[in-house]
Chains A and B, each alone.
Chain A
Amino acid sequence: MVHLSAEEKAAVSSLQGKVKVDVVGGEALGRLLVVYPWTQRFFDSFGDLSSPDAIMSNRKVKAHGKKVVNSLINGLKNLDNLKGAFAKLSELHCDKLHVDPENFKLLGNVLVCVLARHFGKEFTPQVQAVFQKVLAGVANALAHKYH
């Protein structure tokens, strides 16, 4: 459960409304694969990941990035029960995808960098703090069903 004040919720909604999900999702996943190349281990079927340019323009990376961010946005509607909202996805990531939860933190932080790049000064320390809180909550929820 992530506790946000009314102000913090407003900050999230405001930015969320302006986020171009397609663009931000693809960029975040792409940057994850460029900055932390070992994360490519989960994406053998994605084709050409041989260079930053290849990764950032890869269709499958963009599509999957969009999927991930859409899922995140859905989760944001359930801040009172993130563990419940992400329970099925948690099981999937453990049992089928075998993703180390450390990767959720890495992706979360890359997403914060992407939001900073897109929003500039509007992405104040206070706004960043709210997103860090929410993303940490999501990462915990996604790791919750691991066994």
Chain B
Amino acid sequence: MVLSPADKTNVKSTWDKIGGHAGEYGGEALERTFASFPTTKTYFPHFDLSPGSAQVKAHGKKVADALTNAVAHMDDLPGAMSALSDLHAYKLRVDPVNFKLLSHCLLVTLACHHPAEFTPAVHASLDKFFSAVSTVLTSKYR
């Protein structure tokens, strides 16, 4: 599965529209993931996961910043995300199924906040992009 030029344009333009809200959306996507898929909470026993948690917001911003970096380097995701790929493979070891759950909640968050921009074509491109990022993050697992 390859990101076409149209996919890259769609993803970049979505990220431009998000502007400074990326961090906030990252936090919201995490909150949605924990609420809808409670098994994901097992990776955060050390966090306060109650609604409005400062730790979740901070972590959401971290995730969003990493995605913003990925958007800027869509032509070389493996290169740009190499350190995060190592981290997830050797230290965090988050089961691959969970990347789909967070990706879905990122889509839901974007759909909530940007209903007009979230066209079917943009939806498809974003889903592909998150899938590509997830693949890179799990690429060194074994």
Contacts and interface: CB of A to CB of B under 8 A. Distances in A.
Interface of A: 30-31, 34-35, 52, 55-56, 109, 112-114, 116-121, 123, 125-126, 128-129, 132-133
Contact of A31 (B51, B113, B120): B120
Nearest to A32: B120
A113 B120 contact: no
7 contacts: A34-B120, A114-B111, A120-B112, A123-B112, A125-B31, A128-B32, A132-B36
A112 B123 contact: no
B99 interface: no
Interface of B is mostly: helix
Contacts of A35: 120, 123-124, 127
Contacts of B37: 132
B83 interface: no
Nearest to B117: A117
Contacts of A121: 112
A45 B35 CA distance: 39
List 7 tightest A-B contacts by C-beta distance, closest first: A116-B111, A125-B35, A132-B36, A117-B111, A129-B35, A34-B120, A117-B115
Contacts of B127: 35
A117 B118 contact: yes
B107 interface: yes
Given A128-B35, A132-B37, A34 B124 contact: yes
Instruction: Report which residue of A120, A121, A126, A128 has the largest number of chain B beta carbons within 10 angstroms of its beta carbon.
Output: A128
B3 interface: no
B107 A113 contact: yes
B121 interface: yes
A121 B28 CA distance: 11
Contacts of B124: 34-35, 52
A113 B31 CA distance: 16
Given A125-B36, A129-B36, A116 B120 contact: no
Contacts of A119: 112
B122 to A, nearest CB: 10
Interface in B13-41: 28, 31-32, 34-37
Instruction: Report which residue of B34, B37, B108 has the largest number of chain A beta carbons within 10 angstroms of its beta carbon.
Output: B108
B36 A109 contact: no
B104 interface: yes
A55 B119 CA distance: 13
Contact of A55 (B36, B108, B120): B120
